[in-house]
Copies of this chain bind each other. A is one copy, B any other.
Amino acid sequence: MKKVSLLAPGPTPVPPRTLLAMAQPLIHHRSADFADIFGQVRAGLKKLFQTDNEVLTFCSSGTGAMESAVANLLSPGDKAIAVKGGKFGERWSLLLKAYGCQPVDVDVPWGRAVAPGLIQDMLKKDKSIKAVYVQALETSTGVDHPIKDLAQVTKGTDTVLVVDAVSALGAYPIPVDEWGIDVVVAGSQKAMMMPPGLAFASLGPKALKMMEKSTCPKFYFSWAKELKSQKDNKGAFTSPVTLFMGLIDVFQLMDEIGMPAIFAETAAKSRAFKQAVTAWGLKLYSQDNPSPALTAVQCPEGVDGQKVVKWLKDKYAIFIAGGQDQAKGKIFRVAHMGYINEFDTLQAISAIEMALQGLGYSFSLGSGVAAAQKVFGEA
Kindly report which residue of chain B lies nearest to residue A189, judged by CB atoms. B238
Question: Which one of B8, B13, B26, B242 lies within 8 Å of A25 (CB-CB)?
Answer: B13
The residue among A64, A216, A222 with the most chain B CB atoms within 10 A of its own CB is A64
Segment among A93-101, A123-131, A204-212, A369-377 that sits at the interface with chain B: A93-101
Asked whether any CB of chain B lies closer than 8 Å to the CB of A22, the reply is: yes
| Number of interface residues, chain A, beta carbon within 8 A | 56
By beta carbon, the residue of chain B nearest A243 is B197
Q: How far is the CA of A289 from the CA of B32 in the complex (A)?
A: 33
Residues of B within 8 A of A61 (CB): 59, 220, 235, 237-240
With contacts A64-B220, A98-B218, A98-B219 taken as known, whether A29 is within 8 angstroms of B196 at the C-beta atoms is yes
In the complex, A319 has a CB within 8 A of chain B? yes
Question: Can you name the residue of chain B whose Cβ is closest to the Cβ of A11?
Answer: B26
Secondary structure dominating the interface of A: loop
Chain B residues within an 8 Å CB radius of A319: 28, 31
Interface string of A4-47 (1 = CB under 8 A from B): 10101011111010011011111111110000000000000000
Minimum distance in angstroms from A7 CB to a CB of chain B: 10
Q: Are A31 and B64 in contact (CB under 8 A)?
A: no
Contact of A27 with B4 at beta-carbon distance under 8 Å, contacts A62-B238, A99-B217 already known: yes
Bound complex: CA A29 to CA B4 (Å): 13
Q: Given the complex, which residues of B lie within 8 Å of A4, measured CB to CB?
A: 25, 27
A86 within 8 A of B: no
Q: Which of B14, B197, B217 contacts A98 (CB 8 A)?
A: B217
Question: A23 and B26 in contact (CB under 8 A), knowing A217-B217, A319-B31?
Answer: no
Q: Is A63 an interface residue (CB 8 A)?
A: yes
Interface centre among A31, A60, A221, A238 (most CB of B within 10 A): A238
Chain A 47-85 interface 0/1 with B at a Cβ cutoff of 8 Å (1 = within)? 000000000000111111001000100000000000000
Q: Is the CB of B238 within 8 A of A11?
A: yes
Q: Is A187 an interface residue (CB 8 A)?
A: yes
Interface residues of A in 72-120 (CB under 8 A from B): 94-95, 98-100
Q: Is the CB of A196 within 8 A of B63?
A: no
Q: Are B195 and A242 in contact (CB-based, < 8 A)?
A: yes
- Measured between beta carbons, the chain B residues less than 8 angstroms from A240 are 61, 195-197, 243
The answer on a CB contact under 8 Å between B196 and A238 is yes
Determine whether the beta carbon of A237 is less than 8 Å from that of B63. yes
Task: Indicate if A307 sits at the interface (CB-CB under 8 A).
Answer: no
Could you list 5 examples of A-B contacts with CB < 8 Å?
Answer: A8-B30, A20-B23, A71-B217, A95-B219, A195-B241
Q: A63-B219, A196-B239, A217-B217 are in contact. List 8 more A-B contacts (CB 8 A).
A: A8-B30, A11-B241, A19-B242, A20-B23, A61-B220, A71-B217, A195-B242, A216-B217
- Top 7 closest pairs, chain A to chain B, by CB: A197-B240, A61-B237, A23-B23, A19-B23, A195-B242, A28-B319, A61-B238
